[in-house]
Amino acid sequence: METINLIIGVILLLNTIVAIVTVFKDKRDIAATWAWLLVLNLLPILGFLIYLFAGKKISKEKIFDLKSQDRIGIKQLVALQKEQWNEKELLPADLATNEARQTVRALLDIDSAILTKNNQVKIFTDGKEKFNALIDDIKQAVDHVHLEYYALLSDGIGTRLLKALEDAAERGVEVKIIYDSMGSRGQRHDFFKRLEKFGGQAEVFFGSKSAPIHSPRLNYRLHRKLVVIDGKIGYIGGFNVGDQYLGLSEKFGYWRDTHLRVVGNACVALQSRFFMDWNATIKRDPKKPQLEYQERYFPLTQGTGKTSMQIVSSGPDSDDQAIKAGYLKLIAEADDYIYIQTPYLIPDDAIYEALCLAAHSGVDVKVMIPAMPDHPFVYRATEYYAKALVEKGISVYRYDNGFLHAKTCVIDNQMASVGSANFDIRSFKLNFESNAFCYDRQLAQDLADIFLLDVKKSTLLDTDYFAQQSSWKKFKQYFSRLLSPIL
Protein backbone atom coordinates (compact mmCIF):
# COMPACT_ATOMS: atom_id res chain seq x y z
CA MET A 1 0.00 0.00 0.00
CA GLU A 2 2.83 2.39 0.85
CA THR A 3 4.40 1.68 -2.53
CA ILE A 4 1.14 2.43 -4.33
CA ASN A 5 0.71 5.67 -2.38
CA LEU A 6 4.30 6.64 -3.22
CA ILE A 7 3.72 5.98 -6.93
CA ILE A 8 0.51 8.00 -6.90
CA GLY A 9 2.29 10.84 -5.08
CA VAL A 10 5.11 10.87 -7.63
CA ILE A 11 2.64 10.86 -10.53
CA LEU A 12 0.70 13.79 -9.03
CA LEU A 13 3.92 15.71 -8.36
CA LEU A 14 5.14 15.14 -11.91
CA ASN A 15 1.69 16.09 -13.23
CA THR A 16 1.85 19.37 -11.30
CA ILE A 17 5.36 20.19 -12.53
CA VAL A 18 4.54 19.37 -16.14
CA ALA A 19 1.27 21.34 -15.86
CA ILE A 20 3.13 24.45 -14.69
CA VAL A 21 5.73 24.15 -17.45
CA THR A 22 3.07 23.50 -20.10
CA VAL A 23 0.85 26.45 -19.20
CA PHE A 24 3.57 29.02 -18.57
CA LYS A 25 5.51 28.36 -21.77
CA ASP A 26 2.79 30.22 -23.72
CA LYS A 27 2.06 33.86 -23.01
CA ARG A 28 -1.54 34.23 -21.80
CA ASP A 29 -3.44 36.34 -19.29
CA ILE A 30 -3.33 35.38 -15.64
CA ALA A 31 -6.99 34.31 -15.43
CA ALA A 32 -6.60 31.81 -18.30
CA THR A 33 -3.33 30.58 -16.78
CA TRP A 34 -4.97 29.72 -13.45
CA ALA A 35 -7.98 28.16 -15.20
CA TRP A 36 -5.76 25.79 -17.20
CA LEU A 37 -3.72 24.93 -14.10
CA LEU A 38 -6.98 24.00 -12.38
CA VAL A 39 -7.99 21.71 -15.27
CA LEU A 40 -4.57 20.05 -15.58
CA ASN A 41 -4.29 19.36 -11.86
CA LEU A 42 -7.88 18.30 -11.19
CA LEU A 43 -7.84 15.95 -14.20
CA PRO A 44 -4.39 14.31 -14.34
CA ILE A 45 -3.52 12.96 -17.78
CA LEU A 46 -7.04 13.64 -19.11
CA GLY A 47 -6.44 17.34 -18.57
CA PHE A 48 -3.41 17.21 -20.86
CA LEU A 49 -5.49 15.60 -23.61
CA ILE A 50 -8.02 18.42 -23.25
CA TYR A 51 -5.19 20.97 -23.36
CA LEU A 52 -3.70 19.36 -26.47
CA PHE A 53 -6.90 19.91 -28.43
CA ALA A 54 -8.29 23.06 -26.83
CA GLY A 55 -5.51 24.86 -24.98
CA LYS A 56 -2.51 25.20 -27.25
CA LYS A 57 -2.11 28.66 -28.65
CA ILE A 58 -1.81 29.30 -32.37
CA SER A 59 1.80 29.07 -33.45
CA LYS A 60 3.62 32.31 -34.20
CA GLU A 61 3.96 31.18 -37.80
CA LYS A 62 0.20 30.70 -38.15
CA ILE A 63 -0.53 34.08 -36.55
CA PHE A 64 1.92 35.65 -38.97
CA ASP A 65 0.12 34.00 -41.86
CA LEU A 66 -3.15 35.55 -40.75
CA LYS A 67 -1.73 38.98 -40.03
CA SER A 68 0.04 39.06 -43.39
CA GLN A 69 -3.24 39.03 -45.33
CA ASP A 70 -3.34 42.73 -46.11
CA ARG A 71 -6.65 44.53 -46.35
CA ILE A 72 -7.24 45.34 -49.99
CA GLY A 73 -7.22 49.12 -50.43
CA ILE A 74 -8.07 49.74 -46.78
CA LYS A 75 -4.90 51.47 -45.54
CA GLN A 76 -5.33 54.48 -47.81
CA LEU A 77 -8.99 54.86 -46.81
CA VAL A 78 -8.12 54.70 -43.10
CA ALA A 79 -5.54 57.49 -43.48
CA LEU A 80 -8.04 59.62 -45.41
CA GLN A 81 -10.80 59.06 -42.87
CA LYS A 82 -8.55 60.05 -39.97
CA GLU A 83 -8.00 63.37 -41.75
CA GLN A 84 -11.75 63.74 -42.26
CA TRP A 85 -12.31 62.91 -38.59
CA ASN A 86 -10.02 65.76 -37.55
CA GLU A 87 -12.06 68.08 -39.75
CA LYS A 88 -15.32 66.78 -38.20
CA GLU A 89 -16.67 65.82 -41.63
CA LEU A 90 -16.65 62.05 -41.32
CA LEU A 91 -20.18 61.44 -39.98
CA PRO A 92 -23.42 63.02 -41.24
CA ALA A 93 -24.33 66.13 -39.25
CA ASP A 94 -27.22 64.48 -37.37
CA LEU A 95 -24.90 61.70 -36.16
CA ALA A 96 -21.74 63.69 -35.50
CA THR A 97 -22.02 63.67 -31.71
CA ASN A 98 -18.84 63.49 -29.67
CA GLU A 99 -19.79 59.96 -28.59
CA ALA A 100 -20.23 58.68 -32.14
CA ARG A 101 -17.12 60.45 -33.45
CA GLN A 102 -14.96 59.02 -30.66
CA THR A 103 -16.29 55.51 -31.27
CA VAL A 104 -15.56 55.78 -34.98
CA ARG A 105 -12.03 57.05 -34.34
CA ALA A 106 -11.28 54.33 -31.79
CA LEU A 107 -12.31 51.56 -34.20
CA LEU A 108 -10.37 53.21 -37.04
CA ASP A 109 -7.25 53.12 -34.88
CA ILE A 110 -7.69 49.68 -33.33
CA ASP A 111 -8.96 47.69 -36.31
CA SER A 112 -8.58 49.93 -39.38
CA ALA A 113 -12.38 49.69 -39.58
CA ILE A 114 -13.32 52.16 -42.31
CA LEU A 115 -16.61 54.02 -42.01
CA THR A 116 -19.02 53.66 -44.92
CA LYS A 117 -22.11 55.81 -45.34
CA ASN A 118 -25.56 55.61 -46.90
CA ASN A 119 -25.90 51.85 -46.46
CA GLN A 120 -29.37 50.36 -46.75
CA VAL A 121 -29.91 47.89 -43.89
CA LYS A 122 -32.66 45.37 -43.23
CA ILE A 123 -32.93 43.59 -39.88
CA PHE A 124 -33.84 39.89 -39.71
CA THR A 125 -34.88 38.23 -36.46
CA ASP A 126 -36.38 35.09 -38.00
CA GLY A 127 -34.28 32.43 -39.73
CA LYS A 128 -36.82 31.56 -42.43
CA GLU A 129 -37.05 35.19 -43.56
CA LYS A 130 -33.27 35.61 -43.51
CA PHE A 131 -32.55 32.52 -45.59
CA ASN A 132 -35.37 33.22 -48.05
CA ALA A 133 -33.83 36.63 -48.69
CA LEU A 134 -30.30 35.23 -48.91
CA ILE A 135 -31.25 32.51 -51.37
CA ASP A 136 -33.20 35.00 -53.50
CA ASP A 137 -30.10 37.23 -53.63
CA ILE A 138 -27.89 34.28 -54.60
CA LYS A 139 -30.29 33.45 -57.44
CA GLN A 140 -29.76 36.99 -58.75
CA ALA A 141 -25.95 36.90 -58.46
CA VAL A 142 -24.06 37.56 -61.69
CA ASP A 143 -20.38 37.65 -60.70
CA HIS A 144 -19.53 36.09 -57.32
CA VAL A 145 -20.88 34.77 -54.02
CA HIS A 146 -18.51 34.57 -51.05
CA LEU A 147 -19.68 32.93 -47.81
CA GLU A 148 -18.16 32.05 -44.45
CA TYR A 149 -20.07 30.38 -41.64
CA TYR A 150 -19.20 28.78 -38.33
CA ALA A 151 -21.83 26.09 -38.92
CA LEU A 152 -22.86 24.99 -42.40
CA LEU A 153 -24.80 21.75 -42.08
CA SER A 154 -26.07 19.33 -44.71
CA ASP A 155 -29.67 19.28 -43.49
CA GLY A 156 -32.75 20.82 -45.07
CA ILE A 157 -31.73 24.49 -45.20
CA GLY A 158 -28.08 23.59 -45.85
CA THR A 159 -29.08 21.51 -48.87
CA ARG A 160 -31.42 24.24 -50.12
CA LEU A 161 -28.70 26.89 -49.79
CA LEU A 162 -26.14 24.66 -51.49
CA LYS A 163 -28.53 24.04 -54.41
CA ALA A 164 -28.75 27.80 -54.98
CA LEU A 165 -24.95 28.01 -54.88
CA GLU A 166 -24.59 25.06 -57.29
CA ASP A 167 -26.99 26.70 -59.73
CA ALA A 168 -25.02 29.95 -59.46
CA ALA A 169 -21.73 28.16 -60.12
CA GLU A 170 -23.26 26.32 -63.07
CA ARG A 171 -24.20 29.60 -64.72
CA GLY A 172 -20.63 30.90 -64.28
CA VAL A 173 -20.81 32.74 -60.95
CA GLU A 174 -17.69 32.43 -58.78
CA VAL A 175 -18.65 30.67 -55.52
CA LYS A 176 -16.29 30.39 -52.56
CA ILE A 177 -17.19 28.98 -49.13
CA ILE A 178 -15.25 28.88 -45.85
CA TYR A 179 -16.71 26.81 -43.02
CA ASP A 180 -15.47 25.94 -39.56
CA SER A 181 -14.58 22.31 -38.88
CA MET A 182 -15.89 22.32 -35.30
CA GLY A 183 -19.07 24.28 -35.93
CA SER A 184 -19.82 22.07 -38.94
CA ARG A 185 -18.73 18.84 -37.24
CA GLY A 186 -20.20 15.81 -38.90
CA GLN A 187 -20.17 17.61 -42.23
CA ARG A 188 -18.61 15.49 -44.98
CA HIS A 189 -16.78 17.41 -47.66
CA ASP A 190 -18.52 15.22 -50.24
CA PHE A 191 -21.47 17.51 -49.58
CA PHE A 192 -19.75 20.09 -51.81
CA LYS A 193 -18.82 17.64 -54.59
CA ARG A 194 -21.39 18.88 -57.10
CA LEU A 195 -20.56 22.52 -56.32
CA GLU A 196 -16.88 21.83 -56.99
CA LYS A 197 -17.82 20.07 -60.25
CA PHE A 198 -19.17 23.41 -61.49
CA GLY A 199 -16.04 25.28 -60.38
CA GLY A 200 -17.13 26.35 -56.88
CA GLN A 201 -14.74 26.02 -53.94
CA ALA A 202 -15.36 25.05 -50.31
CA GLU A 203 -12.54 25.21 -47.76
CA VAL A 204 -12.23 24.21 -44.11
CA PHE A 205 -10.88 26.91 -41.82
CA PHE A 206 -8.18 25.49 -39.51
CA GLY A 207 -8.95 21.89 -40.33
CA SER A 208 -8.71 19.01 -42.75
CA LYS A 209 -11.33 18.04 -45.31
CA SER A 210 -10.76 14.38 -44.54
CA ALA A 211 -10.74 14.65 -40.73
CA PRO A 212 -11.80 18.20 -39.80
CA ILE A 213 -12.31 17.58 -36.08
CA HIS A 214 -8.90 16.01 -35.46
CA SER A 215 -7.14 19.31 -35.02
CA PRO A 216 -5.15 20.53 -32.01
CA ARG A 217 -6.72 23.96 -32.50
CA LEU A 218 -10.27 23.35 -31.31
CA ASN A 219 -10.10 26.49 -29.20
CA TYR A 220 -9.71 28.89 -32.14
CA ARG A 221 -12.88 28.86 -34.21
CA LEU A 222 -14.08 30.79 -37.24
CA HIS A 223 -17.25 32.15 -35.67
CA ARG A 224 -18.07 34.72 -38.35
CA LYS A 225 -21.26 34.59 -40.41
CA LEU A 226 -20.62 36.66 -43.53
CA VAL A 227 -21.86 36.69 -47.11
CA VAL A 228 -20.88 39.01 -49.97
CA ILE A 229 -22.79 38.90 -53.27
CA ASP A 230 -21.38 40.71 -56.32
CA GLY A 231 -19.60 43.10 -53.95
CA LYS A 232 -22.91 44.96 -53.50
CA ILE A 233 -25.01 42.94 -51.05
CA GLY A 234 -23.73 41.69 -47.71
CA TYR A 235 -25.02 39.71 -44.75
CA ILE A 236 -23.63 39.79 -41.19
CA GLY A 237 -25.05 38.60 -37.88
CA GLY A 238 -25.71 35.58 -35.73
CA PHE A 239 -27.52 33.00 -37.88
CA ASN A 240 -25.61 29.87 -38.91
CA VAL A 241 -26.78 27.47 -41.63
CA GLY A 242 -28.81 24.62 -40.18
CA ASP A 243 -32.39 23.58 -39.53
CA GLN A 244 -32.19 24.41 -35.84
CA TYR A 245 -31.64 28.06 -36.83
CA LEU A 246 -35.04 27.94 -38.49
CA GLY A 247 -36.63 26.88 -35.21
CA LEU A 248 -36.96 23.22 -36.27
CA SER A 249 -35.08 21.73 -33.32
CA GLU A 250 -37.16 19.88 -30.71
CA LYS A 251 -34.57 20.77 -28.07
CA PHE A 252 -34.41 24.53 -28.65
CA GLY A 253 -37.73 25.32 -30.30
CA TYR A 254 -38.03 28.79 -31.81
CA TRP A 255 -34.62 30.26 -32.64
CA ARG A 256 -34.39 33.98 -31.92
CA ASP A 257 -31.41 35.60 -33.63
CA THR A 258 -30.47 38.86 -35.33
CA HIS A 259 -28.89 39.31 -38.76
CA LEU A 260 -28.43 42.28 -41.11
CA ARG A 261 -28.72 42.50 -44.89
CA VAL A 262 -26.59 45.40 -46.11
CA VAL A 263 -26.64 47.10 -49.51
CA GLY A 264 -23.90 49.66 -49.98
CA ASN A 265 -20.22 50.30 -49.55
CA ALA A 266 -20.01 48.44 -46.24
CA CYS A 267 -19.65 45.44 -48.58
CA VAL A 268 -16.14 46.71 -49.34
CA ALA A 269 -15.17 46.00 -45.73
CA LEU A 270 -17.03 42.67 -45.70
CA GLN A 271 -15.25 41.66 -48.90
CA SER A 272 -11.89 42.68 -47.48
CA ARG A 273 -12.55 40.50 -44.43
CA PHE A 274 -13.46 37.54 -46.64
CA PHE A 275 -10.31 38.03 -48.74
CA MET A 276 -8.09 37.86 -45.66
CA ASP A 277 -9.83 34.76 -44.31
CA TRP A 278 -9.81 33.01 -47.68
CA ASN A 279 -6.14 33.73 -48.36
CA ALA A 280 -5.14 32.63 -44.86
CA THR A 281 -7.16 29.43 -45.30
CA ILE A 282 -5.67 28.35 -48.64
CA LYS A 283 -2.14 29.61 -47.96
CA ARG A 284 -1.06 26.08 -47.07
CA ASP A 285 -1.95 24.87 -50.58
CA PRO A 286 0.39 26.32 -53.26
CA LYS A 287 -1.83 24.95 -56.04
CA LYS A 288 -4.65 27.33 -55.13
CA PRO A 289 -4.23 30.97 -56.17
CA GLN A 290 -4.98 33.62 -53.61
CA LEU A 291 -7.62 36.25 -54.14
CA GLU A 292 -6.24 39.52 -55.45
CA TYR A 293 -7.77 42.93 -55.95
CA GLN A 294 -10.02 43.30 -58.96
CA GLU A 295 -12.58 46.05 -59.51
CA ARG A 296 -15.36 43.49 -59.89
CA TYR A 297 -14.89 42.46 -56.25
CA PHE A 298 -15.01 46.04 -54.93
CA PRO A 299 -17.56 48.00 -56.95
CA LEU A 300 -18.32 51.38 -55.41
CA THR A 301 -22.04 51.97 -55.21
CA GLN A 302 -24.15 55.06 -54.69
CA GLY A 303 -25.95 54.15 -51.48
CA THR A 304 -29.59 55.03 -50.98
CA GLY A 305 -29.78 54.19 -47.27
CA LYS A 306 -29.05 56.22 -44.16
CA THR A 307 -26.84 53.90 -42.10
CA SER A 308 -23.18 54.65 -41.49
CA MET A 309 -21.32 51.47 -40.59
CA GLN A 310 -17.96 50.02 -39.56
CA ILE A 311 -17.20 46.30 -39.93
CA VAL A 312 -15.03 45.35 -36.96
CA SER A 313 -13.20 42.04 -36.63
CA SER A 314 -11.22 40.39 -33.87
CA GLY A 315 -9.53 37.08 -33.14
CA PRO A 316 -6.44 35.40 -31.74
CA ASP A 317 -4.39 36.82 -34.62
CA SER A 318 -4.49 40.20 -32.82
CA ASP A 319 -3.98 41.31 -29.22
CA ASP A 320 -6.22 44.36 -29.65
CA GLN A 321 -9.61 42.67 -28.99
CA ALA A 322 -11.27 45.21 -31.28
CA ILE A 323 -14.88 44.10 -30.81
CA LYS A 324 -14.52 44.10 -27.04
CA ALA A 325 -13.07 47.62 -27.33
CA GLY A 326 -16.09 48.61 -29.41
CA TYR A 327 -18.45 47.19 -26.78
CA LEU A 328 -16.58 49.06 -24.05
CA LYS A 329 -16.83 52.28 -26.03
CA LEU A 330 -20.58 51.90 -26.55
CA ILE A 331 -21.13 51.19 -22.86
CA ALA A 332 -19.00 54.14 -21.80
CA GLU A 333 -20.76 56.56 -24.17
CA ALA A 334 -24.34 55.66 -23.12
CA ASP A 335 -26.34 58.37 -21.35
CA ASP A 336 -29.85 56.94 -21.40
CA TYR A 337 -29.93 53.17 -21.92
CA ILE A 338 -27.92 50.08 -22.89
CA TYR A 339 -29.78 47.04 -24.23
CA ILE A 340 -27.74 43.86 -24.70
CA GLN A 341 -28.75 40.45 -26.03
CA THR A 342 -26.30 37.57 -25.80
CA PRO A 343 -26.59 33.79 -25.46
CA TYR A 344 -23.36 33.64 -23.47
CA LEU A 345 -22.78 36.19 -20.72
CA ILE A 346 -19.22 35.66 -19.46
CA PRO A 347 -17.71 39.16 -19.32
CA ASP A 348 -14.12 39.81 -18.36
CA ASP A 349 -13.39 42.33 -15.60
CA ALA A 350 -13.36 45.31 -17.97
CA ILE A 351 -16.79 44.64 -19.46
CA TYR A 352 -18.30 43.69 -16.09
CA GLU A 353 -17.03 46.85 -14.40
CA ALA A 354 -18.11 49.03 -17.34
CA LEU A 355 -21.68 47.69 -17.13
CA CYS A 356 -21.77 48.18 -13.35
CA LEU A 357 -20.38 51.72 -13.64
CA ALA A 358 -22.99 52.59 -16.27
CA ALA A 359 -25.77 51.33 -13.99
CA HIS A 360 -24.34 53.26 -11.02
CA SER A 361 -24.29 56.37 -13.25
CA GLY A 362 -28.04 56.17 -13.85
CA VAL A 363 -27.99 54.49 -17.24
CA ASP A 364 -30.80 51.96 -17.77
CA VAL A 365 -28.83 48.74 -18.38
CA LYS A 366 -30.84 45.75 -19.57
CA VAL A 367 -29.32 42.38 -20.49
CA MET A 368 -31.18 39.42 -22.02
CA ILE A 369 -29.97 35.80 -21.92
CA PRO A 370 -31.55 32.46 -22.99
CA ALA A 371 -33.75 30.33 -20.77
CA MET A 372 -31.87 27.13 -21.60
CA PRO A 373 -28.29 25.98 -22.17
CA ASP A 374 -26.73 24.72 -25.37
CA HIS A 375 -23.38 24.35 -23.56
CA PRO A 376 -23.85 23.34 -19.89
CA PHE A 377 -20.68 24.83 -18.37
CA VAL A 378 -21.08 28.01 -20.39
CA TYR A 379 -24.69 28.44 -19.29
CA ARG A 380 -23.86 27.92 -15.62
CA ALA A 381 -21.16 30.58 -15.91
CA THR A 382 -23.73 32.82 -17.65
CA GLU A 383 -26.08 32.33 -14.68
CA TYR A 384 -23.28 33.24 -12.28
CA TYR A 385 -22.65 36.55 -14.01
CA ALA A 386 -26.37 37.21 -14.46
CA LYS A 387 -26.76 36.95 -10.69
CA ALA A 388 -23.77 39.23 -10.14
CA LEU A 389 -25.25 41.89 -12.45
CA VAL A 390 -28.68 41.66 -10.81
CA GLU A 391 -27.04 42.29 -7.45
CA LYS A 392 -25.56 45.47 -8.95
CA GLY A 393 -28.98 46.76 -9.94
CA ILE A 394 -28.86 45.74 -13.61
CA SER A 395 -32.02 44.31 -15.18
CA VAL A 396 -31.41 40.79 -16.50
CA TYR A 397 -34.11 39.05 -18.53
CA ARG A 398 -34.48 35.36 -19.35
CA TYR A 399 -35.93 34.92 -22.85
CA ASP A 400 -38.62 32.23 -22.61
CA ASN A 401 -39.88 31.95 -26.19
CA GLY A 402 -37.27 29.48 -27.47
CA PHE A 403 -33.51 29.97 -27.68
CA LEU A 404 -31.98 33.46 -27.76
CA HIS A 405 -28.87 33.55 -29.95
CA ALA A 406 -28.79 37.24 -30.92
CA LYS A 407 -25.61 39.23 -30.28
CA THR A 408 -26.70 42.85 -30.17
CA CYS A 409 -25.91 46.01 -28.24
CA VAL A 410 -27.83 49.25 -28.72
CA ILE A 411 -27.46 52.55 -26.88
CA ASP A 412 -29.45 55.77 -26.69
CA ASN A 413 -31.29 55.49 -30.05
CA GLN A 414 -27.97 56.39 -31.62
CA MET A 415 -25.46 53.53 -32.04
CA ALA A 416 -25.68 49.76 -32.19
CA SER A 417 -23.65 46.62 -32.83
CA VAL A 418 -24.89 43.43 -34.50
CA GLY A 419 -22.70 40.48 -35.36
CA SER A 420 -21.25 37.15 -34.28
CA ALA A 421 -19.48 38.16 -31.06
CA ASN A 422 -21.07 37.24 -27.74
CA PHE A 423 -20.44 39.07 -24.49
CA ASP A 424 -17.96 36.44 -23.38
CA ILE A 425 -14.22 35.97 -23.11
CA ARG A 426 -14.17 33.40 -25.91
CA SER A 427 -15.55 35.92 -28.40
CA PHE A 428 -13.16 38.60 -27.16
CA LYS A 429 -9.97 36.51 -27.34
CA LEU A 430 -10.31 33.07 -28.89
CA ASN A 431 -12.79 33.12 -31.77
CA PHE A 432 -12.53 34.89 -35.11
CA GLU A 433 -15.51 37.27 -35.01
CA SER A 434 -17.02 40.15 -37.01
CA ASN A 435 -19.58 42.77 -35.96
CA ALA A 436 -21.25 45.68 -37.70
CA PHE A 437 -21.08 48.88 -35.64
CA CYS A 438 -23.90 51.07 -36.90
CA TYR A 439 -24.54 54.80 -36.61
CA ASP A 440 -28.17 55.41 -37.47
CA ARG A 441 -30.83 56.71 -35.11
CA GLN A 442 -33.69 54.90 -36.82
CA LEU A 443 -31.82 51.57 -36.94
CA ALA A 444 -30.92 51.91 -33.27
CA GLN A 445 -34.55 52.69 -32.46
CA ASP A 446 -35.70 49.64 -34.43
CA LEU A 447 -33.26 47.36 -32.55
CA ALA A 448 -34.36 48.88 -29.24
CA ASP A 449 -38.01 48.25 -30.15
CA ILE A 450 -37.19 44.63 -31.00
CA PHE A 451 -35.50 44.24 -27.63
CA LEU A 452 -38.53 45.63 -25.79
CA LEU A 453 -40.83 43.26 -27.71
CA ASP A 454 -38.61 40.39 -26.57
CA VAL A 455 -38.92 41.64 -22.99
CA LYS A 456 -42.65 40.81 -23.18
CA LYS A 457 -41.65 37.17 -23.84
CA SER A 458 -39.13 37.12 -21.01
CA THR A 459 -38.88 36.81 -17.24
CA LEU A 460 -37.16 39.52 -15.22
CA LEU A 461 -34.71 37.77 -12.92
CA ASP A 462 -34.28 38.96 -9.34
CA THR A 463 -32.29 37.95 -6.28
CA ASP A 464 -35.09 35.63 -5.11
CA TYR A 465 -34.88 33.70 -8.40
CA PHE A 466 -31.23 32.88 -7.79
CA ALA A 467 -31.66 32.34 -4.04
CA GLN A 468 -34.22 29.59 -4.69
CA GLN A 469 -31.86 27.59 -6.91
CA SER A 470 -30.50 24.34 -5.53
CA SER A 471 -27.12 24.14 -3.81
CA TRP A 472 -25.90 21.81 -6.58
CA LYS A 473 -26.81 24.34 -9.28
CA LYS A 474 -25.09 27.12 -7.34
CA PHE A 475 -21.97 24.95 -7.04
CA LYS A 476 -21.95 24.38 -10.80
CA GLN A 477 -22.28 28.12 -11.36
CA TYR A 478 -19.33 28.92 -9.09
CA PHE A 479 -17.21 26.11 -10.55
CA SER A 480 -18.02 27.13 -14.14
CA ARG A 481 -17.09 30.68 -13.27
CA LEU A 482 -13.58 29.47 -12.31
CA LEU A 483 -13.26 28.00 -15.82
CA SER A 484 -14.77 31.05 -17.53
CA PRO A 485 -11.45 32.33 -19.00
CA ILE A 486 -11.16 29.15 -21.12
CA LEU A 487 -14.85 28.36 -21.81
Known catalytic residue: 407?
yes
**Would you call 94 a catalytic residue per the annotation?**
no
Active-site residue, selected from the candidate residues 130, 146, 223, 329: 223
Q: How far apart are the first and last CA of the chain?
A: 39
What are the CA-CA distances from residue 270 to residues 92, 137, 148, 371, 391 (Å)? 22, 16, 11, 32, 40
Interatomic CA distance for residues 199 and 93, integer angstroms: 47
Exactly one of 137, 230, 277, 348 is catalytic; name it: 230
* Residue 376 exposed, middle or buried by CB count within 10 Å (0-12, 13-18, 19+): exposed
Distance from C-alpha of 149 to C-alpha of 432, rounded to nearest angstrom: 11
* 155, 292 Cβ separation under 8 angstroms: no
- The H or E element spanning position 345 is strand 345-346
Is residue 375 part of the annotated active site? The answer reads: no
- 405 catalytically annotated: yes
Task: Choose the catalytic residue: 111, 180, 412, 424.
Answer: 412
In the set 117, 405, 429, 476, the catalytic residue is: 405
Distances (CA, A) of 305 to 118, 121, 141, 206, 269: 4, 7, 21, 37, 17
Residue pair 300/265 in contact by the 8 Å Cβ criterion: yes
Closest among 256, 273, 317 to 148, alpha carbons compared: 273
**Which of the following is catalytic: 117, 130, 176, 225?**
225
Burial of 332 from C-beta contacts in 10 A (0-12 / 13-18 / 19+): middle
How far CA 20 is from CA of 26, 140, 231, 482, in Å, comes to 11, 56, 49, 18
**Given 144, 259, 324, 407, the catalytic residue:** 407
Residues with active-site annotation: 223, 225, 230, 405, 407, 412
